Structure 1
Amino acid sequence: MMTNAVKEKLKKGEPALGALVGMYAPDLVEMIGYAGFDFVLIDNEHGAFSQREIEQMIRAAELAAIVPIVRVSYDPSDIQKALDLGAKGIQVPMVNTREEAEKVVKRAKFPPIGQRGAAFITRSARFGIDGGKLYLDAADEQTLIIVHIETPEAVANFAEIVTVPGVDAAFIGPTDLSISLGYKEAGASHPEFQQVMQRLYETARELNVPLGNIATSAAGVRDELGRGTSLVAVVTTSVIMASLSQVAGARDASK
């Protein structure tokens, strides 16, 4: 199993840049890789993917030499399926307690650490070429486990969640978190919400835990990196829509 480049970056304290993709578009994944991103975050929480489509997205990421990470659905079996298909990491939504984080780790790692079912005929084991202790240990070591912080309960339990052995990073869900905190109109821009974010960043630094967040533009990426975000995921739909709107605006400007 190849080294997980994103996990290595986080261990060294280096940031990683990725792109969140919620539509079936292997060509887009390739372009993201060729553009110089570190990872693609395949969104199977909000996206509508079949298992075969996730596999093709992962294959495109491998072709373009970037790390495929799957944001899994709420189906507990989705963690194992994503990893068996070849995902090098998982991002699990709505992790609210230490116990839930422990369950995530158990589903993602093989015994004796966890309870992930072992099969050497899967794509992740190169359909039987890999196997045995070497494969099992490498998979446990290289798989990146990210928990999603999206509720007031998760904020209250943040330190307990992110210190679970096996959890590699936490990722803030600013939309869900701001809504669940009651800031439906101002959203993530509300000053009180930004104070919550600041406390999360301070706690993450104290605990030496990598923290992730989304961005919607190049300026947003610079802002996130400037405040110490370790995993920055650009929302591809936002970038594409902004570019399309700019091009369409050129028509109106020429009148």
Structure 2
Amino acid sequence: MRENPVRTKIARGEPVFGHMAFEFFTPGLCQILANAGADFVLFDTEHSGVGVEAMKQQVAYARGTGLAPMVRVPGCHYHLIGPMLDAGMMGLMVPMVETAEQAARIASWCRYRPEGVRGLAFGMPHDDYDLGDHLAKMKAANDRMVVIALIETAAGLENVDAIMATPGIDIGWVGHFDLTNSLGIDGQFDHPLYKAAIKKVADACKRHGKVAGFLCGDVKTGRQYLKAGFGALAYGVDSVVFQQAMKAGIDGLRGAK
């Protein structure tokens, strides 16, 4: 079983950096991101409309790159999570986690017994089709898994301490747009309520030995969150990064003399 570089680095207390993909599920994406220095790619299936077939292909493209493939599923249901794990995802993000009980169910679905209740299947993409000892595989899979709880509602924020105290939850990730919407301060990221929420998540993660995560759209914002105690950052969304770079280039050409 291949190691998960995200798990290895966060165990050493090092920050991890990656990217979030919504649109460009191409054969070269994982290698391009690895060449750019990313530790992980977080594929979205909540809003993108893609399913497990596309994700299985991306896991295959990630092999040999050193990049950890991870996925955001559409909701908190085992039938959405299990197939993604069998496809080979090394990390899994669940949206709108609001209670410790919900977090415990998610954590149990992502790991084999005795740590969880994940269903058994071997000689599959997640173990690179190897026919070796299944007991060793189960332990290795449990050890390398990264489980991410999205804190993006007022209820999730209220219960964030209990959520992050839950065994098997590794990262508490702020869903900033949804969180401000739930708090009644849509998109007001300088609002005192939002700033207090960020601190509350970071403090809860630190208190329970977990990592705080965030999707940043620029380097300045990312550095602010690193300073605030966040240790897992996704830099940009694929379509946005591409569009911004294209716009800057075309605008520059149009303004050339």
TM-score of the superposed pair, with normalisation by structure 1 = 0.93
Matched letter for residue 230 of structure 1 = G
Amino acid at match of 1:43: D
Residue ranges of structure 1 left out of the alignment (5+ in a row): none
How far 1:119 moved relative to its partner?
Answer: 1.0
1:248 is displaced (CA, Å) by 1.6
Give the equivalent residue in structure 2 for 1:69: 70
Other-structure match for 2:251: 249
Runs (4 or more) in structure 1 with deviation over 4 Å come to none
Native 8 Å contact 1:120 1:131 kept in 2: no
Q: Is the 8 A contact 1:178 1:188 kept in 2?
A: yes
Q: CA deviation at 1:128?
A: 4.8
Does the aligned pair in 1 maintain the 2:45–2:73 contact within 8 Å? yes
- Superposed CA deviations along residues 222-244 of structure 1, whole A, max 9, x for unmatched, are 22223221110112333222211
1:109 to 2:111 alignment? yes
Bigger mean CA deviation after superposition, 136-145 or 75-84? 75-84
Residues 1:11 and 2:11 aligned together = yes
Q: Which one-letter code corresponds to 1:45 in the other structure?
A: E
**Gapped regions of structure 2 (runs ≥ 5):** none
- Taking a change above 3 Å as real, the CA distance of residues 187 and 28 of structure 1, as seen in their structure-2 partners, is farther
On the 8 A contact 1:108/1:116 being kept in 2, the answer is yes
For 2:181 and 2:6, how far apart are their aligned partners in 1?
A: 30
Task: Note the C-alpha offset of 1:253.
Answer: 1.7
Greater Cα shift, 43-52 or 124-133 = 124-133
Q: Which residue identity lines up with residue 228 of structure 1 in the other structure?
A: G
**Aligned-residue RMSD, C-alpha:** 1.6
Q: Aligned runs of 1:157-172 on 2, under 5 Å?
A: 157-172=159-174
Q: Check the 8 A contact 2:164/2:204 in 1, yes or no.
A: no
Give deviations 1:100-144, integer Å, cap 9, x for gaps.
Answer: 001101111112322111011321123352342111111111111
* Contact 2:95 2:150 (8 Å CA) reproduced: yes
1:60-112 superposed Cα distances (whole Å, 9 cap, x missing partner): 22232211111112243121111101111111111110010011011111123
How far is 1:20 from its partner?
0.3
Q: Which amino acid aligns with 1:231?
A: A
TM-score normalised according to structure 2 size: 0.92
One-letter amino acid of the counterpart of residue 198, structure 1: K
- Give 1:191 shift: 3.2
Task: Give the residue type in structure 1 aligned to 2:164.
Answer: V
SS in 2 for 1:189: coil
- 1:148, 1:239 → 2: CA distance? 22
Matching of residue 2 in structure 1 with residue 14 in structure 2: no
Does residue 1:51 correspond to 2:81, yes or no? no
The aligned runs of 1:91-130 (5 Å cut-off) are 91-130=93-132
More helix by share: 1
Identity of aligned residues (%): 27
